[in-house]
Amino acid sequence: MNYAKNILETIGHTPLVQLNALAKDIDALVLAKVESFNPGNSIKDRMAVKMIEDAESKGLLNPGGTIIEGTSGNTGMGLALGAIVKGYRLVCVINDKQSKEKIDILRAVGAEVVVCPTNVEPGDPRSYYSVSKRLADEIPNSWYVNQYDNLSNAAAHYEQTGPEIWDQTDGRITHFVVGVGTGGTISGVGKYLKEKNPKIKIWGIDTYGSVFKKYHETGVFDENEIYPYITEGIGEDILPKNVDFDVIDGFTKVTDKDAAIYTRKLTREEGIFAGNSAGAAVKGLIQLKEHFKKEDVVVVLFHDHGSRYVAKMFNDDWMRDRGFLGSEIKTAADLVKIHEKSSLITAKTEELVMHAIERMKKYDISQLPITDREGYVGSIDESDLFKAWMEDKDIVKRPIKDYMQAPYPVVDKSTSIEKIAKLINKKNKAVLIDLGKGMYRIITKHDIISAL
Ligand SMILES: Cc1ncc(COP(=O)(O)O)c(C=O)c1O
């Protein structure tokens, strides 16, 4: 009989799959190490179990103990599998940027989940770094994993992932391309491969909003490089001990939009349903294509499974709301689709300026079309009102018709974005789109910019 004694024994030995459509412009053999085949659907199963076993052998984790970790989900899943099989309690501290599916999945496998705000400094007591550490102090017989600085993380990839890639490519790998978060994967695999063949190049994929690339190139930890981003799993605002910059030859940064688009492409063009950092890795690989030659064997690693992102990168509304489907926006109809849910807010000529101001405040808008019995006869916007108020502090009590400007131009749904953009200027703050049957939508400069 051929069976595993428990689920942990099924971790690893993931397939290496050739990329075809997405690698068509790359003059090398491109192979993907697809880590979603692990039982927890991500590479993190490997390091999670290694960290638990190392903690057990060091006496840091004892029977009946509690495992605590600040995790973006995948490590939590790996720890959960380990906790179930080995009989520990697990508390996962997660930031609110992570997908709802990841949180739900962690709860499904028995973890207790604490959600913390993303946009606070790592040292802030609300950050998920600080909350995890505090819980570890408070809960008796607990062990704080700290995947960032726990070197068992990189060791798992040195012992497992690196040798698997070396064996699967028969030692012919020339380049390894991978997203970098805690740094465990790139450092462990990179160290192993460089020991086997120092000529192998190790490339990290970073995000805009993360410190890695600049730090690697200049040695400067530049806080200006840190800002919120959408891509999940990679990039950091700290330098984890698991990132061994010495084994990394270079980084390339991938935008949130490109990472999201390539996550979808990977599924639709290769049939590989992988997560967001896999999309970033593929786009990064394409950005690096001039580094590869025909006889090269390039291995790119996909960390996790696409099912965790169905409400995000795989959801059209989510993509459109962020302007990530921007290239499809050609006409007024496309723009209207993005703002489908917002209805047209207007004011009447006989209403008072204070009513227009109230409406602008309520709906957080800067301009209004003005109607009377004949239809759209004027417009009013906050800069006109501000100018008028400078001259007469009583304008709020006067009728709108005394202050309104010319009506906004009206165009039909098929009008191109270029034409609409030309109609919007200092005098004309917006354009009305005629949707037929007496329905109209307003398009402003802000709507066009946010759809870019
Ligand atoms: C989806 C995903 N991609 C990439 C990474 C980065 O891997 P590593 O932490 O080994 O650098 C992570 C780790 O958090 C991840 O969860």
Cβ proximity of 117 and 126 under 8 Å: yes
Residue nearest to atom 16 of ligand 1 (CA): 233
Positive or negative, the CA dihedral 357, 358, 361, 365 is negative
- Phi/psi at 146 (5° precision): 50, 70
* The pLDDT value given to residue 326: 61
d(CA 383, CA 341): 26
SS3 255: coil
Atom number, ligand 1, closest to the C-alpha of residue 157? 10
Q: What integer is the mean pLDDT of 421-442?
A: 89
State how far Cα 245 lies from the chain centre. Answer: 23
Token pair for 42: 């991500």
* The pLDDT value given to residue 80: 97
Residue of 44, 201, 283, 429 marked catalytic: 44
d(CA 94, CA 354): 45
Q: How far is CA 128 from CA 13, 98, 101, 110, 131, in A?
A: 32, 12, 18, 20, 5
Residue nearest to atom 12 of ligand 1 (CA): 233
| pLDDT tops 90 at residue 220 | yes
Token pair for 224: 């200006």
For the chain, give every residue range classified as CATH 3.10.580.10: 329-450
Q: Is 251 exposed, middle or buried (0-12, 13-18, 19+ CB in 10 A)?
A: buried
Q: Which residues line ligand 1 (CB under 6 A)?
A: 72, 74, 179-186, 232-234, 275, 277, 303-304
Q: How confident is the model at residue 240 (pLDDT cuts 50, 70, 90)?
A: very high
Strands 89-95 and 66-70: parallel
44 is catalytic: yes
d(CA 172, CA 300): 14
Closest CA relative to residue 203, chosen from 281, 261, 272: 281
Neighbours of 393 (CB within 10 A): 8
Estimate the crossing angle of helix 100-108 against helix 74-86, to 10 degrees: 0
* The pLDDT value given to residue 438: 85
CA 184 to centroid of ligand 1, rounded, Å: 8
At 407, the amino acid letter reads P
At 209, the amino acid letter reads G
Token pair for 106: 């962690």
Q: 415 forms bridges with which residues in the sheet?
A: none
Q: Tell me which of 1.20.1250.20, 3.20.20.140, 3.40.30.10, 3.10.580.10 is the CATH number of domain 329-450.
A: 3.10.580.10
Q: What is the DSSP string of 375-431?
A: EEEEEEEHHHHHHHHHH-TTGGGSBGGGT-BPPPPEEETT-BHHHHHHH-SSS--EE
Q: How far is CA 387 from CA 298, 381, 390, in A?
A: 62, 10, 5
- Which of 69, 74, 229, 237 for mutating ligand 1's site (highest number of atoms within 8 Å of CB)? 74
CA 396 to centroid of ligand 1, rounded, Å: 56
CA 186 to centroid of ligand 1, rounded, Å: 10
| pLDDT tops 80 at residue 422 | yes
307 CB contacts (<8 Å, ≥6 apart)?
41, 101, 273
| pLDDT tops 80 at residue 163 | yes
101 CB contacts (<8 Å, ≥6 apart)?
307, 308, 309, 310, 311
At 37, the amino acid letter reads F
CA 185 to centroid of ligand 1, rounded, Å: 8
Residue reference for tokens 């160290």:
191
* The pLDDT value given to residue 333: 85
pLDDT, tens digit, for every residue of 142-155? 999 999 999 999 99
Residue nearest to atom 4 of ligand 1 (CA): 233
Q: How far is CA 267 from CA 44, 79, 140, 221, 303, in A?
A: 21, 27, 45, 35, 14
**∠ CA 301-47-33 to the nearest 5 degrees?**
15
- Which of 303, 309, 312, 313 for mutating ligand 1's site (highest number of atoms within 8 Å of CB)? 303
* The pLDDT value given to residue 257: 96
Mean of the per-residue pLDDT values for the chain? Answer: 93
pLDDT, tens digit, for every residue of 91-107? 999 888 777 877 888 99
| pLDDT tops 80 at residue 339 | no
383 or 194, which is more confident: 194
Q: Is 401 left (phi over 0), alpha (psi -120 to 50) or beta?
A: alpha
CA 274 to centroid of ligand 1, rounded, Å: 13
- Which of 277, 305, 307, 313 for mutating ligand 1's site (highest number of atoms within 8 Å of CB)? 277
Residue nearest to atom 15 of ligand 1 (CA): 233
| pLDDT tops 70 at residue 328 | no
What CATH code is assigned to 1-328?
Answer: 3.40.50.1100
Percent of the chain predicted with pLDDT > 90: 77
Q: How confident is the model at residue 327 (pLDDT cuts 50, 70, 90)?
A: low
36 CB contacts (<8 Å, ≥6 apart)?
14, 42, 273, 274, 275, 302, 304, 305, 306
Closest CA relative to residue 76, chosen from 88, 65, 68, 85: 68
Q: What is the DSSP string of 337-369?
A: HHTTTPPPP-EETTSBHHHHHHHHHHHT-SEEE
d(CA 252, CA 208): 10
Q: What integer is the mean pLDDT of 393-403?
A: 91
CA 191 to centroid of ligand 1, rounded, Å: 17
SS3 439: strand
**What would you report as the CA-atom Rg of the chain, rounded to the nearest whole angstrom?**
27
For the chain, give every residue range classified as CATH 3.40.50.1100: 1-328
Percent of the chain predicted with pLDDT > 70: 98
- Phi/psi at 144 (5° precision): -90, 120
State how far Cα 222 lies from the chain centre. Answer: 21
pLDDT, tens digit, for every residue of 22-80? 999 999 999 999 999 999 999 999 999 999 999 999 999 999 999 999 886 899 999 99
d(CA 270, CA 21): 7
Q: 201 forms bridges with which residues in the sheet?
A: 175
Q: What integer is the mean pLDDT of 427-437?
A: 89
State how far Cα 126 lies from the chain centre. Answer: 21
Atom number, ligand 1, closest to the C-alpha of residue 183? 11
* The pLDDT value given to residue 183: 98
Q: How confident is the model at residue 342 (pLDDT cuts 50, 70, 90)?
A: low
